Amino acid sequence: MKIVHAASELYPYMKTGGLADAVGALTGTFADRGHEVSVFIPGYRDALAHPAAAAAERRFRIKVEMGNQYLSGDVLSFSPKKNLTVYFVCREEFFDRRLPYGNGERDYEDNADRFTFFCKAVVETMRIADLGADILHGHDWQAGLLPLLLREAERRFGVTLAMKTVFTIHNIAFQGLFPAATFARTNLPEEMFSMDGLEYYGQVNFLKGGILFADRVTTVSPTYAREIQTPEFGCGLEGVIQTRVDDLTGLLNGVDSAVWNPATDRLIPARYSAADLSGKRACRAALLKACGFEAGYTGPVVGMICRLTEQKGVDLVLANADFFVGEDCRLVVLGTGHKRMEAELQALAREVPGKVFMCARLDETMSHLIEAGSDFFLMPSLFEPCGLNQMYSQVYGSIPVVSRVGGLVDTVSDADTDESGTGIMCDPNAASLRDALSRVLRLFGDAERYSRVQQRCMARDFSWMAAASAYEALYRDSL
């Protein structure tokens, strides 16, 4: 099949979260399976400067209608491997910035324009490059306008650019909501700014466009697919989702084993496998050192890696700060984001420097060291579409401590209640997390049982093959 993907992140060129990992692994796996794959992302400053993108060359000069203006852009492309072409949609005014979505304090004011331009540029490049796609697959709100813009361009030019469209919701909490005035920049027919179109309580909602107008809608876990039909998790779009349940599928993300595999990982100080965990002990020693913890420490080390947001349950961890102060346990957190959360975690680390370590930066190498060097991985999310770190941690033999929501339910089961369990589960509240942390101490205190759970974690198969086959079946079925 000829498959075109469009997303705002793609590992390794631009990543702020799991979206990049998912799109990178999925498109790479499709290429390996013999499909002809094109992936479009914005030509962000960091993406263009990435050493892996050094071969990118200008291929097309495009003009895009935006309201009553025409804006030009360049499309660069290169082929990182057989069957895979990466396209960067460039316009300095929009994408030559230090960060992808905002200045660190708040979102950029022209995000509606930036991602309208991106979507229009994708469609225009598909047209002039004559990509002849079977499937156009967009991801998250930044690509939400694609299904509509594609059909509009086809109508205008009298051509077929893609047989079917698929749209994946990686997180329904991010919707791309903008003032009504931005609608004019889409050049879509006036009637599309209505309840049955992009309008959402007087504003423009990009995500809603993807949900309503794609031929098929997917999200990243079966549990999240059910949750987003409810007011508790639907973030106001549950009614819109309900209109598409017949075309909605939850497909779990996988683990990119080229990046996340303790047996081959070059970012960790020693490699290891379930059969020989001596390398994991070396990683633990390196992590203790990196955190400034006592070298001979023998209790449990709990790791946490996430964007610091409410979603990730950071406040539940902070509400249990006394646990980490008082109990025989070490906590290392790697994360950036919410300034108050960052400050409170840093204050806790200053209060008990030998027990809690806070690493407030984006650091790929440190994230691998934490996965490999910890005994437990903490992820008490309030909601979690799929989540990747709980899968990485199982692969690395670090037992996940997670809340019972979304993809966490589909990838972890509780070792205290299930004989084949691989983790410790709690409800997304501080008291339940406290109970889970006590169970961490108990499980770690029983070395034999800990080892059995750890072996079960490491025996799990989270490869992308299962997900890629499921997407292929969905594509075929839609055609």
Query: Would you tell me which residues interact with ligand ADP (CB under 6 A)?
Result: 17-19, 21, 305-307, 334-336, 362-364, 367, 387-389
SS3 274: coil
Question: Closest CB to ligand ADP among 320 and 381?
Answer: 381
Tell me the closest approach of the beta carbon of residue 360 to ligand ADP, in angstroms. 8
Tell me the closest approach of the beta carbon of residue 167 to ligand ADP, in angstroms. 17
Q: Any idea what the Cα angle at residue 146 is, between residues 144 and 148, rounded to 5°? A: 100
Tell me the closest approach of the beta carbon of residue 194 to ligand ADP, in angstroms. 32
Which residues sit opposite 167 in a β-bridge? 138, 217
Closest residue to ligand ADP, judged by C-beta, is: 18
Tell me the closest approach of the beta carbon of residue 134 to ligand ADP, in angstroms. 28
Question: Closest CB to ligand ADP among 332 and 424?
Answer: 332
Tell me the closest approach of the beta carbon of residue 52 to ligand ADP, in angstroms. 17
Question: Closest CB to ligand ADP among 56 and 255?
Answer: 255
Tell me the closest approach of the beta carbon of residue 130 to ligand ADP, in angstroms. 34
**Polymer length in residues for the chain:** 479
Measured between alpha carbons, how far is 424 from 437 in angstroms, rounded to an integer? Answer: 9
One-letter amino acid for residue 39 of the chain: V
Measured between alpha carbons, how far is 345 from 335 in angstroms, rounded to an integer? Answer: 10
**Which distant-in-sequence residues (6+ apart) come within 8 Å of 358 by Cβ?**
332, 333, 342, 345, 346, 348, 349
How deeply is 196 buried, as exposed, middle or buried, from its count of CB atoms within 10 A (0-12, 13-18, 19+)? Answer: exposed
Question: Which pair of structure tokens corresponds to residue 166?
Answer: 């698929």
Question: Closest CB to ligand ADP among 306 and 317?
Answer: 306
Tell me the closest approach of the beta carbon of residue 189 to ligand ADP, in angstroms. 34
Phi and psi (nearest 5°) for 462? -110, 30
Tell me the closest approach of the beta carbon of residue 365 to ligand ADP, in angstroms. 9
- Cβ atoms within 10 Å, residue 348: 22
Measured between alpha carbons, how far is 438 from 443 in angstroms, rounded to an integer? Answer: 9
One-letter amino acid for residue 128 of the chain: I
Question: Closest CB to ligand ADP among 67 and 222?
Answer: 222
Question: Closest CB to ligand ADP among 351 and 364?
Answer: 364
Tell me the closest approach of the beta carbon of residue 4 to ligand ADP, in angstroms. 23
- CA distances (Å), origin 341, targets 325, 350, 356, 432: 17, 14, 14, 20
SS3 354: coil
Q: CA neighbours within 13 Å on the CB side: how many for 466?
A: 12
Question: Closest CB to ligand ADP among 170 and 280?
Answer: 170
Question: Closest CB to ligand ADP among 135 and 349?
Answer: 349
Beta strands in 269-427 (DSSP E): 301-305, 330-334, 356-359, 376-379, 399-403, 424-426
Question: Closest CB to ligand ADP among 49 and 362?
Answer: 362
